Structure 1
Amino acid sequence: MTEANLSLVKEFILLGFSDLPNLQGILFGIFLYIYINILIGNGLIIVIIKSDATLQTPMYFFLGNFAFLEICYTSVTIPRMLSDLWTKNTNISLLDCAVQLCFFLILAGSESFLLAMMAYDRYVAICKPLYYTLIMNHKICVQLVLSSWISGAPIMIGQTYQVFSLPFCDSNILDHIFCDLPPLMKLACEDTFWNEVIFHTVIVLFGFIPFLLIFYSYIRIFITIQKLPSVTGRSKAFSTCSSHLMVVMLFYGSGIISYLQSKTSYKKGIEKIISLFYIFITPLFNPLIYSFRNRDVIVAMKRLLSK
């Protein structure tokens, strides 16, 4: 019976913004403009960090990897969305949908862990400055980044396999802008209780635990900052953390609202709007936040442009 049910759905239809036919062209132009800016902004951060000798520190090593991660993260969903808007063909095969979901989950988990690593870097720099170069040596930084990239891959691949093992027999219309877990599980025609339990367990593991580590790091950081004798020292210490804090709030804020909203509070279309924040807004503002709030990056950018 399960095999028969699975054979009924060969592809999904992503509704996306098909309910706004008169705005398809405008949305394509807006999303394309934002995507190009994401690529340029994050790409420029990578080039600046790689080309400037003064930025060869653990903080900027993490920032460069974070910028590259943002490029990969957005490239999983936005090009497909742009193609759907341009061609008005929103059909996506089960395989393509599974691949998109798998890479999206892996990169989202990696981003969550990398944000935690960046918070740990700031914690060591401010709370243990005398041991900073010893603790955050290049080998440790590379290991932390690699663990952020690959640690969640097996679990996310398993999560994707589990979701696509469900029978989709009632409908193949996916009311979303890309293949995401919550709308996919709504299409399953069998009880998804245990799937949802595992899904929320993964959210706790890859979202809540890193967030707690970030929260704990910043509590210790703020306690240490308050003990600094000079106002200038406190201001400088806080400025090195404020950019990261803003990115954390954007990423986790939109993710928590999207993934943890109850079914009773769900409103049609709200998932699409919220998903735009963590697909477009956060990656777009990351280079702006780190560039305009970071004097070292601005100086390095001027040096690069002058060449």
Structure 2
Amino acid sequence: MGTALKVLYIAGVGRSGSTLLERVLGTLPGAVNAGELNAIFSRVALQDQRCGCGEPFSACPFWTTVGQRAFGGWAAVTARMAYLQPRVVRQRHVPRLASGLARASYRHELEAYLDITQRLYRAIAFVSGAEVVVDASKSTAQLLALRQVPGLDLRVVNLVRDSRGVAGSWSKAGLRKPQSRTGDTMGTYTPPRAAVLWSALQLECEVLGATTPHATRVRYEDLVARPRATVERALRDVGLPASPGALDHVEDRSVVLAPRHGVAGSRSRFTSGRIELRLDDAWRSTLPAGARRVVTAVTLPQLLAYGYVGPRARALPAGAPR
């Protein structure tokens, strides 16, 4: 298998700023941000979505080279992986992935899925010349599966955002997927559904973090308020401390990001140059009071633990972007 490949995996719930964090981490020397790799077969390749460089996936020279090196071309594996993924790494498969108790047919399909995934990671590292692949897939099922791949050195960052902000974001309808070339819109959840999803996924992230040698948690709110200090601390926690000058692209209230080849994610994928960081707390005025109370009640234990409410609540520093 060769030298272990470092994969810096961002886990958590969607609409929490993972695209921003992934791009910041992928700008570090020796790192490459690949986007949400769990979407590369099921959506990106099948729908020929736009790469972060702006080109359609099929026309992007980086991903074309990756596909050739890994599989002899994307056509050789895309349909197979789009079939396998929902069968082996959906959220409902978390218990069997965690316990290892599964039928032989499931284990056989999982092995096939992980073999192709491992080849993908190694091709990304080879083509980019990077030592660390940053993957913003977020899925805990995908992370549990990756833990079974020999030769992957997983480092995990659990990115968490206030559950009420997540619920507010998921309730917005009609948001266009920026990477789509056909005008597709992003999915929605009702606030109660988003709260249950947030609570369950965060519980899984806590368990995974406790059983992973190199893992940490980052609050979205801290990332936008204190980007440099937050990223520095996270990198130390996962055993990848930043070298002198490695975080020159991270400033007090902004980050400087160039176009890269990450796939899927939010509209911030296609914003480059100096990006001023502003806390998205629109939920405070847009999330109905009743929905806010429901989300708070469902997620209260974790809101307390993470310092969002209660006596341990951590306020943003004076003058921080709001």
Common fold: TM-score over 0.5: no
Structure whose residues are more often helix by fraction: 1
Structure index of larger Rg? 1
Instruction: Normalising by structure 2, report the TM-score.
Output: 0.28
Question: By percentage of residues, which structure has more strand?
Answer: 2
TM value normalised by structure 1: 0.29
